[in-house]
A and B are shown apart, each in its own frame.
Chain A
Amino acid sequence: AQSVSQHNHHVILSEAASLELGCNYSYGGTVNLFWYVQYPGQHLQLLLKYFSGDPLVKGIKGFEAEFIKSKFSFNLRKPSVQWSDTAEYFCAVIPNQAGTALIFGKGTTLSVSS
């Protein structure tokens, strides 16, 4: 079945460590790609998005993601995490040839210790 896969269920890091969260999708054709974040007690917020153009996209709070079409991947990165980055991170895809619904991965919980 077509899907969005997030490789890490729970990631634990110390402050200042680098972060990379994996995301792969299995849809062909043109896709729009998103990373959303859900901080404790808050609603889902958009971190960054990719529609077209430069495959390296920059989002809020120092996050960036790289779209690698050949690998069907859209990994999220941050060079140096902070305690305030503790949250749940969701990768999501809109497979443009299959409607306009967001298809989410299962999410990665990031815990950052100070």
Chain B
Amino acid sequence: ETGVTQSPTHLIKTRGQQVTLRCSSQSGHNTVSWYQQALGQGPQFIFQYYREEENGRGNFPPRFSGLQFPNYSSELNVNALELDDSALYLCASSLEGPNEQFFGPGTRLTVL
């Protein structure tokens, strides 16, 4: 059973640029959630996708957007990067509903 994978591992961007992060869900899972983890904080929910539709969103601006593909993999896109977007971005997959989520290793984004 393949776990959740994310790419890239690390990324450095400058303010104003755009970034795309990718996530492959665990086999058999149809739901993907994205979280932002700032240094010294717990992960904060960005949004969730279920069967290619957004299924809930946290308190993040519209420049954070996402996609889910038919194979349940997902992308997180962030436009107009700001310094405060520097964080670890975590992807988690699960079955639909309030179930256990399985996390990937994360993508460390640094915005200069």
Contacts and interface: CB of A to CB of B under 8 A. Distances in A.
A101 interface: yes
B101 interface: yes
B90 A46 contact: no
Interface stretch (B15-23, B37-45, B63-71, B79-87): B37-45
A101 B45 contact: yes
Interface string A92-104: 1010100111111
Contacts of A105: 42
Interface string B90-108: 1010101111111111100
Contacts of A94: 98
**Chain B interface residue number, banded:** 20 to 34
Contacts of B96: 100
A99 B101 CA distance: 14
A107 B100 contact: no
Contacts of A32: 98-99
Contact of A49 (B40, B56, B100): B100
Contacts of A103: 45
Given A44-B90, A90-B42, A100 B100 contact: no
Contacts of A107: 40-42
Interface of A: 4, 32, 34, 36, 42-46, 49, 90, 92, 94, 96, 99-107
Interface of B: 31, 33, 35, 40-45, 48, 55-56, 58, 90, 92, 94, 96-106
